[in-house]
Amino acid sequence: MSDKEIRVRFAPSPTGYLHIGGLRTALYNYLFAKNKKGKFILRIEDTDRNRYVEGAVDNLLSTLNWAGLQADEGPKSSGDYGPYLQSERLDIYNEHIKKLIVDGKAYYCFCTQERLTELREKQKKEVIQTKYDKHCLHLTEDEIIQKLNDKTPNVIRLNIEPNKEIFFNDIIRGEVTFSSDTIDDQVLIKSDGFPTYHFANVVDDHLMKITHVIRGEEWISSTPKHVLLYDYFNWERPQFAHLPLLLNPDKSKLSKRQGDVAVEDYMQKGYLKDALINFIALLGWNAGDDKEYYTMDELINAFSLERVNKAGAIFNLDKLDWLNAEHLRSTPNDKILIMLKDEISKSNYSNFDCTDEYLLLIIEAMKERVSFVKEYIEKCPYFFEPPIEYDEKVVKKRWKDDSQELLKIFSSRIEQLVNPRKEDYERILKKLCEEKEIGLGRLIHPLRLALSGVGIGPGIFDLIFILGKEESLKRIDKALDQIK
RNA sequence: GGCGCGUUCGUCUAGUGGCUUAGGACGCCGCCCUCUCAAGGCGGAGAUCACGGGUUCAAAUCCCGUACGCGCUACCA
């Protein structure tokens, strides 16, 4: 493998949404390509007309873009090897299948669906492997021409020679061997004239000069068919790397039934793309050290197929939440501001009117306390509206006999302040506690309760400063009135 | 059923024959810090490395077998 340009592809079928497992496959392809200064190509495998979903391609593209996995070549990008939609490449497949037929490597099959089902049932009853019996391979040329002229529905099948050892090398798993006897004469061209995945994928990968086929483990079993096709065409085989599967908690292949599998679901839940990418990158790969937090650039630098695991990984969200918090914490405040404003517009506080400076103060104060942007609202609603009620437990624990008096004095003293800073509140509070010979908590806790209605939150001086003098005075008054 | 792939703490994983009384991370528990909650620091519980044979002075690591799990077994991808 000389200095040839590395070219890999992500080849999803447009089923309506991007599966999280698909995102990981795309990511590994992307990381590998970028690490090798190669190209990442997106090809849409839309050869199954029954599964056509309106708008699926656009959706796929936008989700991939959100995740930061822009294709160097693809349906909406430029590229010299298009079209990148298989449904637009029918002529190409047709031209290539002819060569195979001429060489006897593929053949027409006119068997009806009924005969095929019957055959399969018979084989099942005899408990032998279910596969096509090459019935139509023995048709004479005249018979074939006759049937073709009669427009008898037909498919084209791969002609697999019996009794051959087929092996290929997998970067992740090493050498894998199959006996050709266990491989079916796969349909290459369906009766509607569309190719199957097996045929289209090989033709396209060759024509698009794909050097490495990186895909899910579920393709291992059909790889011998693909490998045979390369050999039949006399084409150089790409390198294969079959990724371990993403699993449900019960270890079955990650599926819709057991939780969210669409990338959009995670977008909607408020996960940061950097966190999601970081998380799925670590599901099946690691650099061999203890590093857990990665940016995309760091992933590109560190990634290698050799260090991808063989065993499937259960998709478990605990770590994702932690990574999201980590990534959110290292996001600059001005970026969080933009996300927070968006979140506010979607919340009950959509009419809340305030300056960016106000939100920035909240962001800074809450930064260590949130894992998601929306928690800047959920965990501290008191920044957006006065407390409606006071946490019963906190009242019981923190509201003492002297709380009323202390708050009254404190309130009257801060009232005198002009444009108070955080330090001014602190000075006054400390002085008052000194005078009364009490610990700071004696005043701090009731004050927090009065201001926020709850017993948890940012530092008290941040809290009072952010709310501001007027608002704080109002809230203290109200609390004095309502908490008994 | 056939074929293929896999199997280290609950989960993600390190480990490529001696450095391993199997390391880290998430989660969980405790302590410290402290105005609360977090964050942070420190510590703890948690894996007879699926099982059984072999090879070797020495095996989680190499070989064989078994079990279990998963994938494929379509004119789906």
Residue A86, nucleotide of least CA–C1' distance: B77
The overall average pLDDT reported for chain A is 94
Share of chain A above pLDDT 90, in %: 90
Q: Which residue is nearest to nucleotide B12 (CA to C1')?
A: A283
Reduced to 3 states (helix: H, G, I; strand: E, B; else coil), residue A252 is coil
Q: How far is the CA of A172 from the C1' of B56 (A)?
A: 28
Q: Does residue A1 have a pLDDT over 50? A: no
Residue A290, nucleotide of least CA–C1' distance: B24
Confidence of residue A83 (pLDDT cuts 50, 70, 90): very high
Cα angle for residues A263, A266, A270 (degrees, 5° grid): 140
Instruction: Tell me the CATH architecture of domain A90-243.
Output: 3-Layer(aba) Sandwich (3.40)
Average pLDDT over residues A272-296: 96
Residue A282, nucleotide of least CA–C1' distance: B12
Average pLDDT over residues A325-338: 97
Q: How far is the CA of A167 from the C1' of B64 (A)?
A: 22
Residue-level pLDDT at A205: 98
The predicted-structure confidence for A171-223, as pLDDT tens digits, reads as follows 999 999 999 999 999 999 999 999 999 999 999 999 999 999 999 999 999 99
Catalytic residues of A: 256
Torsion angles phi and psi, residue A159, rounded to 5: -95, 105
Torsion, Cα of A425, A430, A432, A437 (10° steps): 160
Residue-level pLDDT at A51: 84
Query: CA–CA separation, A470 vs A378, rounded Å?
Result: 24
Which among A405, A434, A432, A400 is positioned nearest to A416, based on CA atoms?
A: A432
Nucleotides, chain B, CB distance < 7 Å: 1-8, 10-16, 23-27, 35-39, 69-77
Q: How far is the CA of A103 from the C1' of B76 (A)?
A: 28
Type and span of the H or E element at A293? none
Query: CA–CA separation, A70 vs A466, rounded Å?
Result: 41
Q: Does the structure's ipTM exceed the value 0.90?
A: yes
Query: CA–CA separation, A314 vs A250, rounded Å?
Result: 8
Which among A266, A232, A210, A202 is positioned nearest to A20, based on CA atoms?
A: A266
The predicted-structure confidence for A368-422, as pLDDT tens digits, reads as follows 999 999 999 999 999 999 999 999 999 999 999 999 999 999 999 999 999 999 9
Residue-level pLDDT at A129: 87
Q: Which residue is nearest to nucleotide B7 (CA to C1')?
A: A311
Q: How far is the CA of A286 from the C1' of B22 (A)?
A: 18
The predicted-structure confidence for A132-144, as pLDDT tens digits, reads as follows 999 999 999 999 9
Q: CA A1 → CA A5, A6, A19, A352, distances in Å?
A: 10, 10, 32, 61
CATH T-level topology, domain A386-484: Arc Repressor Mutant, subunit A (1.10.10)
Average pLDDT over residues A318-338: 96
Residue A455, nucleotide of least CA–C1' distance: B36
